[in-house]
Structure 1
Amino acid sequence: MKTIAGILFIVLGILTAYQSKQAQPAAIDYAKERVQILQLIDTESKAFWDKDYEKWASCWAQEPYIRTMGWWKAGGVTVVKGWEERGPRTKQHMEQHPKPNPQNVRRENINIRILQDAAWVTFDQYGKDNGEPVMDMPGLSRETRFLEKHKGKWKIVYVGWLLEGEGN
């Protein structure tokens, strides 16, 4: 009986140690994650203005819970819910305005919070007016991004913006 109790005690100890290791999240390499997050934001923005739908879409988690919410003077409040709306809507804008609209934006006051599989980012973005009313972001825009890791890669799940505009 002591042998069975001893074996059970050892097995229980091994299982407890295994569960403890499994429950420990991996250490976050903040510098590496920060670079990846900022590269993703830059890639998504560049693809948007270059009218490269496939590259732009690859930056997003194509899920029903994604959101974009924003405001600009010419269009007022914009709320887009889910990939089923966001994807086709952006594709349509790109098809209606196919000429690339390259922007050389400047981002300042970047604030990044990185968690295990999620991150949020806020920043001020300064763009120029290229004369395209639907897809320009001239002047100061207050930006927010929320990202999640999907299969080990950062993907955008939320974009928020408030375009204050020129002269700010």
Structure 2
Amino acid sequence: MSNKAITFFFFTTLLCMISCNDITKEKIKIEADQSINLEVEKKAILETLNNETKAAFQRDYESWKDKWVHRSTITKTYINFVDNSFSESVGWEEINNFVKTFFEEHPEPEPVPALLKDINVRLYENGAWVSYEQQDSLRGLKRETRLMEKLNGQWKIAGMHTTIYGFQKDE
């Protein structure tokens, strides 16, 4: 092999290594940015969920409805193993009417459960799948999943599933 060929091979390899190193650094930077964004988004979602819970338990209708997506495609379900009940509402109009009626029939505020400090979040562009457990002083253990959508920079609830397990009995 000639000196020119060796020199060409050496510089080509060196350039390739530098390019690959830059690509690796860029990939690490992108991954780091995503984890920062996940924490920022998780905090914003947590704030929305806690504010919606406070509004519901304090019977603050205006604040409660501000936390929801107002479309016909959203859903809200409750499964209560304690009293063997189930309810499902589909679409904003039905969910809104259900909550308005509930607030009218039960106007007294309830004790607000301990607010959430940690949630499991999976982000999907402008959407998120959220799950968590919460202790409710009146209903006991609840497991919830929420479908969230980011609209105009604000996280809103687009779906809710609550399973109520009640209080564990000491045996």
Compute the TM-score of the two structures, normalised by the length of structure 1. Answer: 0.74
Give the CA RMSD over aligned residues.
1.8
Q: Does 1:125 align with 2:134?
A: yes
Query: Which one-letter code corresponds to 2:154 in the other structure?
Result: K
Q: Which range is displaced more, 46-55 or 108-117?
A: 108-117
Pairing partner for 1:46 from 54, 70, 75: 54
Moved over 4 A (4+): 106-109
CA–CA separation in structure 1 for the residues paired with 2:71 and 2:127: 15
Aligned to 1:97: 106
Query: Which one-letter code corresponds to 2:164 in the other structure?
Result: L
> In the TM superposition, what are the counterparts of 1:129-140 in structure 2 within 5 Å?
129=138, 138-140=139-141
Q: 1:108·1:125 contact (CA, 8 Å) conserved in 2?
A: no
Q: 1:49·1:101 contact (CA, 8 Å) conserved in 2?
A: yes
CA–CA separation in structure 2 for the residues paired with 1:31 and 1:140: 26
Aligned to 1:20: none
Shift of 1:122: 0.6
Q: 2:121·2:131 contact (CA, 8 Å) conserved in 1?
A: yes
CA–CA separation in structure 2 for the residues paired with 1:123 and 1:63: 24
May I ask how many residue pairs the two structures share in their alignment? 134
Structure 1 residues 106 and 92 mapped into 2: Cα distance closer, same or farther (>3 Å)?
same
Structure with larger Rg: 2
CA–CA separation in structure 1 for the residues paired with 2:117 and 2:65: 25
CA–CA separation in structure 1 for the residues paired with 2:107 and 2:83: 20
Compute the TM-score of the two structures, normalised by the length of structure 2. Answer: 0.73
- Gaps spanning 5+ residues in structure 1: where? 1-26, 130-137
Structure 1 residues 38 and 88 mapped into 2: Cα distance closer, same or farther (>3 Å)?
same
- Gaps spanning 5+ residues in structure 2: where? 1-32
Shift of 1:105: 2.6
CA–CA separation in structure 2 for the residues paired with 1:65 and 1:146: 12
Q: Which range is displaced more, 61-70 or 107-116?
A: 107-116
Shift of 1:151: 1.5
CA–CA separation in structure 2 for the residues paired with 1:81 and 1:56: 17
% identical equivalent positions: 31
